[in-house]
Amino acid sequence: MGLWRLADWQYSSQQTLALLEQLLERGVTTFDLADIYGDYRCEQLFGDVLKLSPSLREKMEIVSKCGIKLMGSGNDYGLNHYDSGAVHVMAAAESSLRKMGVDQLDLLLIHRPDPLMDADELAGALDRLVDEGKVRAVGVSNFLPHQVELLRSRLQAPLVVNQIEVSLLHSVPMFDGQLDHCQKDHIIPMAWSPFAGGELFNGSDEAALRVQACMEGLSKELDMSPQQLALAWLLKHPSSMVPVLGSGKIERLSSGIAALEKELPREAWFRLLRAARGRDVD
């Protein structure tokens, strides 16, 4: 469950609590945040919900990210930029813990590759957070394989996740080595924007329209909604991909969860790929 839009939903803490409880009942236990989400407000909003029902903490895994500095929320940044330095990463992790009112993050990700990343310094900070028990596991987000390998070469803790953009309209990671690398080294790929920001269903460019037409036919053949088709397409990949869904509507989320029980035939998978790319395989 992705919570990057939590502030936009304008739910009360009680409404958000009800949503989380329904998701936990349906087997969704991982909740994805970042320090910058909602202009630095989402972690606090999530923490406010946990205060209403502290026992929920033991039923879930909390993911957060750091390494991006955005202008706003009273900070004095002169521009948006990256900071993977030890001072910032340690401070950001402490801030996340404080805002959410928890003792440990289950997973901390470095949000974007930083061209000024000092791998030794960053690895030292991440290992220290793990050693101190403030973070249970570490990973990255939007890193290419060579960037992952650089950081891994300095880390003592295992690097367990790379959160990357993957969808029918962004299938590049299936061909440029990103998912191969995840599969090779047993790194879990978390797929952000699995519906291409809604373009899969509402987009008007040629690729989106081709996919929509293909989904319409497959929906009737396989008794699967377009949303389920899009998720089943990702879930069929052998890298054990974990799509991150960001809707605040339990009905939409429940439909997505049902995709876990669906099996997409191989030819249907390639029909969707052909529609997305506009060409047959070579």
Q: What is the DSSP annotation of 129-187? A: HHHTTSBS-EEEES--HHHHHHHHTT-SS-EEEEEEE-BTTB-GGGTSSHHHHHHHHTP
pLDDT, tens digit, 9 for 90 and up, residues 20-51: 999 999 999 999 999 999 999 999 999 999 99
Report the mean per-residue pLDDT for the chain: 97
3-state secondary structure of 267: helix
223 Cβ contact list (under 8 Å, min separation 6)? none
- Which whole number is the average pLDDT over 188-205? 96
- Which whole number is the average pLDDT over 45-70? 98
pLDDT, tens digit, 9 for 90 and up, residues 176-193: 999 999 999 999 999 999
pLDDT of residue 210: 98
pLDDT of residue 74: 79
Whether pLDDT at 240 is above 80: yes
pLDDT of residue 187: 98
64 — pLDDT class (breaks 50, 70, 90): very high
Least confident of 2-16, 68-82, 107-121, 164-178: 68-82
216 — pLDDT class (breaks 50, 70, 90): very high
The backbone region for 110, taken as left when phi is positive above 0, alpha when psi lies in -120 to 50, beta otherwise, is beta
Whether pLDDT at 16 is above 90: yes
pLDDT of residue 123: 98
The residues annotated with a catalytic role in the active site are: 37
pLDDT of residue 73: 73
- Report which of 196, 200, 192 is spatially closest to residue 37, judged by C-alpha positions: 192
What are the chain's domains?
A: 1-165 (3.20.20.100), 191-282 (no CATH)
